[in-house]
Amino acid sequence: MAESKRKDSPLRRRLKVVAALSLAVAGALTLAPASAQAETTGDHCVYDIVTEELTCADTPEAALAANSVGIQADSVLVRMYNDTNYGTANGTHTLSAPGSYTCSAAYSPVEFTITRMGSFVNKASSVHTYHSCDVKLFDNESATGTSSTWIDNLANLNTAAGGWSNRASSYQVS
């Protein structure tokens, strides 16, 4: 699987600090080793932007719950669906960040580049974004090659210019 390639930007450093402080406030949390926390079976996966782990389960809700650590809730930034019209029957890929994260209003600079989609490569048929985020899809796993326009919410990715249903191998968020 390709790994995410991101600069350690001020935003990323801030997210790391927020995550570390959240764990400290939670007090006596006992964390299992990272390999034990990341469940990779199931059709619904959550990619955590801070831990860079892909956690999967049988439902979108169970994947989010398995991904969450401590008392701090995660913000869903992007959810891709294997079905058109935001259907969850055949799987989802969700991008999460700790706390209440909101994307900037501008497309530049790109806030996150996600190159780790697990088994969801070439499966997205619809996408929904949250917290002022937009997504740009790429043909290649390294966020290179042909890309879509910036997408906010789209119930059928085939209606996007160039037809993007079952085509995305990586994506950017801004």
Task: Assign residue 154 the CATH number of its domain.
Answer: 2.60.20.10
Residue 30 domain flag: no
CA neighbor of 165 nearest in space, from 120, 125, 127: 125
Sign of CA dihedral 115, 147, 76, 106: positive
pLDDT tens-digit profile of 105-144?
889 899 999 998 888 999 999 999 999 999 999 999 999 9
Domain span including residue 52: 10-15+38-84+91-173
Q: What residues contact 85, with CB distance under 8 A and at least 6 apart?
A: 126, 155, 156
Asked, for residue 115, whether it belongs to a domain, the answer is yes
Residue 5 lies in a domain: no
Within-domain flag for 27:
no
Q: Which pTM value belongs to this model?
A: 0.75
- 22 occurs within a structural domain: no
Number of domains in the chain: 1
Instruction: For the beta carbon of residue 32, count every other beta carbon within 10 angstroms.
Output: 8
Is 125 domain-assigned? yes
Decide if 25 is inside a domain. Answer: no
Q: What pLDDT digit, counting tens, does each position of 46-79 carry?
A: 999 988 889 999 999 999 888 876 556 688 999 9
With respect to residue 166, please indicate whether it lies within any of the assigned structural domains.
yes
> Within 10 Å of residue 136's Cβ, how many Cβ atoms?
19
User: What is the amino acid identity at position 82?
Assistant: N
Stronger pLDDT, 172 or 1, i.e. the higher one: 172
